[in-house]
């Protein structure tokens, strides 16, 4: 067969957004804001373009931006990454994840993935001949059972992928989780791939626990981040990863082959914009208000839920409303009611929990109000 990924279909995010457009529906499916990125940041981009930053930047990214990222991580998580050797700007976190998996996974290597999982991890593992080893997150709050992780580790385990705050469940890993993981991984050669694209979207006074905060994790971790999520401009496709020198050397080999380098003027603009920590520290409060508004608006609906602790996603359980499969219900919702959401079965969730849809609340209050009106009538 010619296909390297025979089981893969078009991403649900593309399908649902297209369906939403085709049916003129409110789109709470694919994760992106329906409001504008900061004017100040846009004018920094135009300034950079006018200033002549229009040719290839260095392959690892604009050095000034890497320096700002290094300072930010140092101040938030207390670890020092060398901007020259340990930070790479990527085409969104998507490229960072792809590059990190491709750099290290050889045929037969096992990679532990927690279910439900973001949809890019497992196909990328398979594309490299790796074998995903799935572990189900458990309970209402989708926690990791660390005893299960210990049991799942074998001599073939090359990597573990974590994602906190977690898409699609909105769960987060706390200090205890990270210490458990640190204990488990010490004295192994396992690489940790930590997807932290929602690091600045964390609610209810919780603190983001970055892998870079824990020395026993940081020394073996590739941490991925995304400016698109943080600065309301997912379409600029700019993110980064940080890792110790010996890992980053391998990642850069793949980065040079996939994209070589990423857009120049945006990087120049971000470097300036990152100098003011307010630009990312205010984000949690902003999105917590959105979450609270959305949940308050639907509190009398027939959906049940546990409030999201992070990300800009909220799972809603529809088991009282219909017996349909999540995919069928999502399709009916967009076609007949004009509201698009993501069926969580695409994240490879177990059957029991597969009675939920994921709603993105990175939307104007007005959009959330309209969506809630539809949800309350179901
Ligand atoms: N990881 C997770 C968990 C995501 O939700 C997303 C998409 N928002 C990405 C990675 C990809 O990020 P980016 O848009 O920067 O490529
Ligand atoms: N990460 C976004 C989401 O979960 C979508 C990214 C994409 O479209 N690939 O909705």
Are 354 and 249 members of one domain? no
Looking at residue 93, what is its pLDDT?
A: 98
**Ligand 2 pocket member 169 (CB < 6 A):** no
- Which ipTM value was assigned to this complex? 0.97
At 333-356, the pLDDT tens digits run 999 999 999 999 888 777 666 899
Q: Is residue 42 part of a domain?
A: no
Are 213 and 331 members of one domain? no
Are 174 and 268 members of one domain? yes
**Ligand 1 pocket member 270 (CB < 6 A):** no
Closest ligand to C-alpha of residue 118 is: 1
- Among protein residues, the one with the nearest Cα to ligand 1's atom 8 is 31
Closest ligand to C-alpha of residue 235 is: 1
CATH code of the domain covering residue 294: 3.90.1150.10
Best substitution site from 226, 228, 234, 263 to test ligand 1's pocket, by max atoms within 8 Å of Cβ?
226
**Ligand 2 pocket member 120 (CB < 6 A):** no
Q: Contact 83/66 with Cβ under 8 angstroms? A: yes
Are 171 and 68 members of one domain? yes
Q: Confidence class of residue 111 from pLDDT cuts 50, 70 and 90?
A: very high
Q: 305 lies in which domain range? A: 12-30+282-376
- Among protein residues, the one with the nearest Cα to ligand 2's atom 8 is 13
Are 166 and 80 members of one domain? yes
Are 335 and 369 members of one domain? yes
**Ligand 1 pocket member 102 (CB < 6 A):** no
- Among protein residues, the one with the nearest Cα to ligand 2's atom 7 is 13
Are 234 and 289 members of one domain? no
Q: Is residue 49 part of a domain?
A: no
Atom of ligand 1 nearest to the CA of 167: 3
Are 314 and 265 members of one domain? no
Atom of ligand 2 nearest to the CA of 167: 4
Q: Return d(Cα 313, Cα 309) in angstroms, integer.
A: 9
Q: Is residue 293 part of a domain?
A: yes
Tokens of 125: 């593992």
- Domain count within the chain: 2
pTM: 0.97
CATH code of the domain covering residue 67: 3.40.640.10
At 158-188, the pLDDT tens digits run 999 999 999 999 999 999 999 999 999 998 9
Q: Is residue 45 part of a domain?
A: no
Nearest to 250, CA basis, from 102, 89, 66, 80: 102
Looking at residue 354, what is its pLDDT?
A: 84
At 127-152, the pLDDT tens digits run 999 999 999 999 889 999 999 999 99
Grouping H, G, I as helix, E, B as strand and the rest as coil, residue 69 is: helix
Nearest to 266, CA basis, from 110, 89, 136, 32: 89
At 192-201, the pLDDT tens digits run 999 999 999 9
């Amino acid at each position: 067969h010619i296909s390297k990924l025979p089981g893969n279909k078009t991403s649900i995010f593309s399908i649902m957004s297209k369906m939403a457009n085709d049916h003129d529906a409110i789109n709470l499916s694919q994760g992106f804001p329906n409001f504008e990125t900061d004017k100040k940041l846009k004018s920094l981009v135009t300034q950079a373009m006018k200033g002549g930053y229009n040719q290839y930047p260095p392959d690892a990214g604009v050095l000034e931006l890497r320096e700002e990222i290094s300072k930010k991580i140092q101040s938030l998580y207390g670890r020092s990454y060398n901007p020259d050797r340990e930070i790479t700007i990527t085409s969104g976190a998507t490229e960072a994840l792809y590059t990190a998996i491709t750099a290290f996974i050889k045929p037969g290597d096992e990679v532990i993935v927690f279910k439900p999982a973001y949809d890019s991890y497992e196909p990328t593992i398979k594309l490299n001949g790796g074998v995903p080893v799935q572990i189900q997150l458990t309970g209402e709050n989708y926690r990791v059972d660390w005893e299960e992780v210990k049991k799942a580790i074998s001599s073939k385990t090359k990597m573990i992928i974590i994602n906190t705050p977690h898409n699609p469940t909105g769960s987060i890993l706390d200090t205890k989780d990270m210490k458990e993981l640190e204990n488990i991984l010490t004295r192994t050669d396992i690489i940790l791939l930590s997807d932290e694209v929602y690091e600045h979207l964390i609610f209810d006074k919780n603190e983001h626990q970055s892998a870079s905060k824990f020395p026993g994790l940081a020394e073996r971790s590739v941490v991925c981040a995304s400016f698109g999520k943080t600065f309301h401009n997912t379409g600029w496709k700019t993110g980064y990863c940080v890792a110790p020198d010996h890992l980053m050397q391998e990642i850069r080999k793949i980065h040079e082959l996939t994209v070589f380098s990423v857009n120049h003027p945006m990087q120049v603009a971000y470097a300036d914009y990152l100098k003011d920590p307010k630009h990312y520290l205010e984000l949690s409060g902003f999105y917590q208000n959105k979450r609270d508004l959305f949940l308050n608006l639907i509190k009398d609906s027939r959906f049940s839920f546990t409030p999201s602790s992070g990300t800009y996603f909220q799972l809603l359980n529809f088991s009282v409303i219909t017996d349909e499969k999540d995919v069928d219900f999502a399709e009916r919702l967009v076609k007949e009611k004009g509201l698009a959401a993501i069926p969580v079965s695409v994240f490879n969730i177990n059957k029991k929990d597969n009675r939920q849809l994921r709603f993105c609340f990175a939307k104007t209050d007005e959009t959330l109000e309209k969506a809630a009106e539809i949800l309350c009538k179901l």
